[in-house]
């Protein structure tokens, strides 16, 4: 993980969740829950298909303050949900330490690790989730491909990568308004609440430049996933991608 990015997450960690909830009008919470619901469905389907009682191994990469891992831990408790073993990895100790004492996260195993060099053997996980982080990894497509290939390495054959990320609305008017919102609201308000100018300069730089949903699906296929599809969220300002090894 780059030093600059680590410094940003050290600065924003205390207010990270609050700023997200305000800037997205709470939609980030709903989107993570929806992703967790998909994760549980995938787990239930796999278990049914393989007819084994082995746990469903999940890794949440760039887990931050643990909201996605928590939502999955809660979901996986349902009667129809698979028995899951959840791991979480992030490159920032400040973010991980906020996650560790949360309710529902005691059973999640946290690791301090770079998303590009995950400390797990090949073919370990049935599912990898990433939320609001692929945009942070590296905007360069070659670098992004190598992160995706690292995810492929530790996924079992047939394993699934679920990615929740901001995207680019397909309608140009909505896209223009969305980019204006990032520049005029996200950047100054994020700075005002968190006190981190660098953090919200970086966020408002990466958001308009990230792939559109089709582009990210293509990149997943280019990395070697056999199948990639997406669903758009709230007019396409975000998207959930599902890609299979
Ligand atoms: C925007 S936060 C997202 C956190 C969480 N997934 C969520 O849904 O809110 C991005 C997280 O990615 C982590 N991160 C960024 N680059 C990373 C890298 N190369 N390796 C590991 N973690 C990284 C940061 O430390 C931060 O916790």
Q: Is 43 in the pocket of ligand 1 (CB under 6 A)?
A: no
Residue 47 has a pLDDT of 56
45 C-alpha to center of ligand 1: Å?
A: 28
Residue located nearest, by CA, to atom 10 of ligand 1? 133
Residue 24 has a pLDDT of 97
Cα distance between residue 214 and residue 223, in whole Å = 14
Q: Is 35 in the pocket of ligand 1 (CB under 6 A)?
A: no
122 C-alpha to center of ligand 1: Å?
A: 22
Residue 45 has a pLDDT of 79
171 C-alpha to center of ligand 1: Å?
A: 29
131 C-alpha to center of ligand 1: Å?
A: 8
Residue 78 has a pLDDT of 75
Query: Of 50, 47, 49, 223, whose CA–CA distance to 58 is shortest?
Result: 47
Residue 179 has a pLDDT of 97
Residue 104 has a pLDDT of 85
Residue 52 has a pLDDT of 59
176 C-alpha to center of ligand 1: Å?
A: 27
One digit per residue, pLDDT tens: the chain, 245 residues?
888 899 999 999 999 999 999 999 999 999 999 999 999 999 887 755 555 567 899 999 999 999 999 999 999 887 777 789 999 999 999 999 999 878 889 899 999 999 999 999 999 999 999 999 999 887 788 999 999 999 999 999 999 999 999 999 999 999 999 999 999 999 999 999 999 999 999 999 999 999 999 999 999 999 999 989 999 999 999 999 999 99
Residue 50 has a pLDDT of 54
| This prediction's pTM | 0.95
Q: Is 92 in the pocket of ligand 1 (CB under 6 A)?
A: yes
Coil, strand or helix at 60: strand
Coil, strand or helix at 239: strand
Q: Is 235 in the pocket of ligand 1 (CB under 6 A)?
A: no
Q: Is 147 in the pocket of ligand 1 (CB under 6 A)?
A: no
* Sequence-distant contacts of 76-84: CB under 8 A, at least 24 apart: 76/39, 76/40, 76/43, 78/40, 80/44, 81/40, 81/43, 81/44, 82/40, 82/43, 82/44, 82/46, 82/47, 82/55, 82/56, 83/53, 83/55, 83/56, 84/43, 84/55, 84/56, 84/57, 84/58
91 C-alpha to center of ligand 1: Å?
A: 7
């Amino acid at each position: 993980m780059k030093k600059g990015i680590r410094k940003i997450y050290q600065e924003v960690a205390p207010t990270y969740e609050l700023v997200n909830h305000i800037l997205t009008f709470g939609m980030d919470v709903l989107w993570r829950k929806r992703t967790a619901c998909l994760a549980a469905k995938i787990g239930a389907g796999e278990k049914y298909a393989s007819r084994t009682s082995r746990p469903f191994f999940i890794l949440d990469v760039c887990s931050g303050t643990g909201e996605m891992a928590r939502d999955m831990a809660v979901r996986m408790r349902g009667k129809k949900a698979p028995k899951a073993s959840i791991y979480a990895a992030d490159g920032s100790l400040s973010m991980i330490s906020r996650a560790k004492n949360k309710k529902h996260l005691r059973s999640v195993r946290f690791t301090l690790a770079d998303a590009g060099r995950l400390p797990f053997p090949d073919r370990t996980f049935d599912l990898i989730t990433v939320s609001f982080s692929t945009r942070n990894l590296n905007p360069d497509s070659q670098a992004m491909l190598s992160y995706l290939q690292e995810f492929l390495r530790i996924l079992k054959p047939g394993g699934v990568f679920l990615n929740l990320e901001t995207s680019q609305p397909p309608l140009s008017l909505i896209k223009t308004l969305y980019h204006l919102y990032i520049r005029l609201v996200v950047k100054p308000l994020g700075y005002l609440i968190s006190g981190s100018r660098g953090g919200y300069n970086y966020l408002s730089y990466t958001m308009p430049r990230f792939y559109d949903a089709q582009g990210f699906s293509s990149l997943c296929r280019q990395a070697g996933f056999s199948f990639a599809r997406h669903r758009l969220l709230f007019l396409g300002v975000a998207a959930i991608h599902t890609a299979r090894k």
